[in-house]
Amino acid sequence: MPSLTHDEALSRAALVAVEAMEVDLDLDRGPEVFGSRTTITFTCRRPGESTVVDLRPQALHSVRLNGRELQDVLVDGRLRLADLAADNVLEVEATMSYGHDGQGLHRSSDPADGEDYVYGHLFLDAAPRVFACFDQPDLKAPYTVGVRAPEHWSVLGNGGATQVAPGRWELARTAPLATYFVTVCAGPWASVTAEHDGVPLGIHARRSLERPLREQAEHMLATTRTCLDHYHRLFGIRYPFGEYHQVFVPEFNAGAMENPGCVTFRDAYVFRGAASPDQVLERDNTIAHEMAHMWFGDLVTMRWWDDLWLNESFAEYMAYRTSAEALGAPQSWVSFGIVRKLWGYAAERAPSTHPVAGSPAPDALSALQNFDGISYAKGASVLRQLIAHIGDEAFLAGVRDYLRGHAYGNGELAEFLAAMAAAAGEDLGPWAGAWLRTAGADRLELTRTGTLTRRTPEEHPADRPHTLDVAAFDHGREALREDVVLTGERAEVPGVAGLPEGALVVPNAGDLTWAEVALDPGTVAALVDGLADVPDPVARTVVWTSLLGGMHRGEVDPRVVVDVLESAWPREDDAAVLSRVALVVTGTVVPLFLPPAEQAEAMERVAHAADALGQRARGASGPAARAWGLLAARVGARALRDEARLHRWAAGADLPPELAGDDDFRWLVLRRLAALDALEEAELEAAQEADRSLAGRLAALGVRAARPTPQAKEWAWSTLAKDPELSNYGALEVARGFWVAEDPAVVRPYVGRVGDLLARLEPRMGEDALSRVATALHPKWLVEPATLAASSELLAREDLSPGVHRALLDEDHVLREVLESRRRFG
């Protein structure tokens, strides 16, 4: 079915205005279909003309326009409406199919108790899979929703829900919403409710997660209260959508979705076992991110998808700012640097890089490709540069003016910049052209004589001013800190030339700007002995992102990364750095960038580093020591080759106290045993029997796929290709385990078959879910010239969607980086 184009959206918005949406859903028709009745009240500016309404039903029962029954009007997912009146009422009744790919109205069964759960994820263009609508962000309307559900279910949605009869719920009329924000969440939820400052609050999850939900709900509610108060102060506008529910739902493709009044989160955020501080911080940050959207995105919505940065960049920046300012977590900027910016720089290096703002979105589906590290991490960094340029007072004044001027409507880049320029008292056009409308990351390099240079990508020329600092560290002390405003190609930084030879010199040490930092050779040489002693965690983060980025660019030998990890990582204090660096080294540096003959030894060195961190934890006390012990065990479970120790861990022996009875950790250990071909079928079956949860069922799929035997790979491939019951999460788990094999001969026969499998999956999976599977299924793990040839053939196919092609293109780029690194460093 064709995706709505921007030109079509402009024409439709010029013709019609939606006054009201009434939606009635019958969720009590079994596990495969639901009933949908929609009444759309809308006006037409030029009576007599025609338009289309979006709908993708399993069966269409009736269409009535202004009391007139219409026949044969559904074509390619659109109802064609002719001879419109000035005032119109469209009534549509249809039977719809539940989704099992995380889009539309997704239905999932929890094997822990056999209960089913339904949630709506109508982003990006999935609303027509639930009800008839004008599916574009600038045709907002108030919604009145009714729901029939099994009598033991409860129902949540954008408006406050009231049970009016057994199995019958009515949701309060909403403020004007874009179609992609509408949601209904139904099932036998476990719930914790509260109220703050007149706003009813709720935290909800599957019934089988009730115990951890209740244990963790007060922390989440405290975070919610603090964020709500903080945003009221910052924006000067009260929360505008009535009740505020946060629902942790199964098999969710993203981290969360900012549905007004009813935010949905992936339910992995309700921790079944031990949670490290960075995991808790990530959840707090996600709560803050989605709440920021209530103003930027929900109250004021982008007019079209080419301005999605107005939603995501703002929420990304505001979440980290709020975590640092209001939640008492200054380390959130460390997490931003090592997690989000690492993701964003990778997206910037890829051939699919694009500007932060105004990236072409000719149709709705193509916009999905730009929900990446550029729209999030780079966009947030650009906002930090804007604040450095105009000041925080002017920035907040511009934000308030923009929100007040477009409340309950739509906005776009020019209007946002106009508000900022008025508050700052200066023309921001040149600044926006360089930072927002031009792709690419500048490269910053500082010589030991003190010359800071800026090199702009040749393919994306721009004159970007950088506000940053330069710091140097020597024997565990800060030896230099200089603020710099770089407005040309070079600037002299005083004090650098006089630094000791072994000092570590770090441009952009405060991580304020967006630029690839190239460390000088003397600093790289000093990292093994000196990085752990750098007292500034943000500067350490900048060093790690620079080191890893340099490896991808073919400038840093991957062995240096392993050397630095072995020496500095066990002495790191920040949980986010510990977690992310180890994940990148075990998941990318060793299995991809190092030659196969060196990988086993490198993993042993990582395991030794994990043991060193564990020993450090045992010699300390308090929350930090508990976090070190937890992270040490998790990294050891990914890196160890000691099968006896892994089997003891799987049996629950010799574990840190925090991991006693932790099912998720046991699955991590079992996956490592499977990869080593050291897992017996009886042991796997016993684990499945002990953990009959949805998470356990999914983990078992990944463990089976990771076994390095021809039989296991054939099972995994066949499951992906032929199992119609496989959900989006199930497919992703199998795909992530598939290429695990120390002997490449086991998986080499499948390299040329990836395209056919993806084409087969496309009819039953939405583009969002399938793009994630395509990323995992790309055969880059076999670093061979033949794989590159197969990847090129994959990209030449014409039967794969744009989103899948984009995912494969980015993975092809990684393969090329790895091949070049191996050629250069042998």
Supply the residues annotated as catalytic: 290
The Cα–Cα gap between 24 and 21 comes to: 10
Q: In what order do the strands lie in the sheet with 74-75?
A: 51-54, 78-81, 74-75
The Cα–Cα gap between 744 and 595 comes to: 13
HEC-encoded secondary structure of 137-166: CCCCECEEEEEECCCCCEEEECCCEEEEEC
Asked if residue 585 lies in contact with residue 565, where contact means CB atoms within 8 angstroms, the answer is yes
Helix or strand (DSSP H, E) at 442: strand 442-446
Tokens representing 331 are: 């380390």
The Cα–Cα gap between 218 and 820 comes to: 50
The Cα–Cα gap between 571 and 721 comes to: 46
Torsion of CA 126, 127, 128, 132, to 10 degrees: 180
Helix axis angle for 575-584 and 537-552, nearest 10°, is: 10
Residues pairing with 670 in the sheet: none
What are the backbone angles phi and psi of residue 205, rounded to the nearest 5°? -155, 170
The Cα–Cα gap between 249 and 206 comes to: 7
Asked if residue 105 lies in contact with residue 46, where contact means CB atoms within 8 angstroms, the answer is no
Tokens representing 805 are: 């092609």
CA 113, 117, 121: angle at the middle one, nearest 5?
Answer: 150
* Number of H-type helices and E-type strands within the chain: 28, 29
Half-sphere exposure of 285 (CA within 13 A, CB side): 23
CA 351, 587, 637: angle at the middle one, nearest 5?
Answer: 165
Helix axis angle for 537-552 and 342-349, nearest 10°, is: 30
Asked if residue 30 lies in contact with residue 150, where contact means CB atoms within 8 angstroms, the answer is no
Asked if residue 96 lies in contact with residue 122, where contact means CB atoms within 8 angstroms, the answer is no
Helix axis angle for 521-530 and 537-552, nearest 10°, is: 120
Tokens representing 748 are: 């080499």
Helix or strand (DSSP H, E) at 91: strand 87-97
The Cα–Cα gap between 797 and 778 comes to: 14
Helix or strand (DSSP H, E) at 611: helix 596-618
Q: Please, which residues have CB within 8 angstroms of residue 354's CB and are 6 or more apart in sequence?
A: 370, 374, 439
The Cα–Cα gap between 455 and 444 comes to: 7
Q: Please, which residues have CB within 8 angstroms of residue 164's CB and are 6 or more apart in sequence?
A: 170
Residues pairing with 41 in the sheet: 20, 89
Q: Please, which residues have CB within 8 angstroms of residue 601's CB and are 6 or more apart in sequence?
A: none
Asked if residue 174 lies in contact with residue 143, where contact means CB atoms within 8 angstroms, the answer is yes
| DSSP-based three-state secondary structure for 466 | strand
Q: Please, which residues have CB within 8 angstroms of residue 335's CB and are 6 or more apart in sequence?
A: 278, 281, 282, 285, 320, 576
User: Would you tell me how many other CB atoms lie within 10 Å of the CB of residue 389?
Assistant: 18
The Cα–Cα gap between 735 and 382 comes to: 35
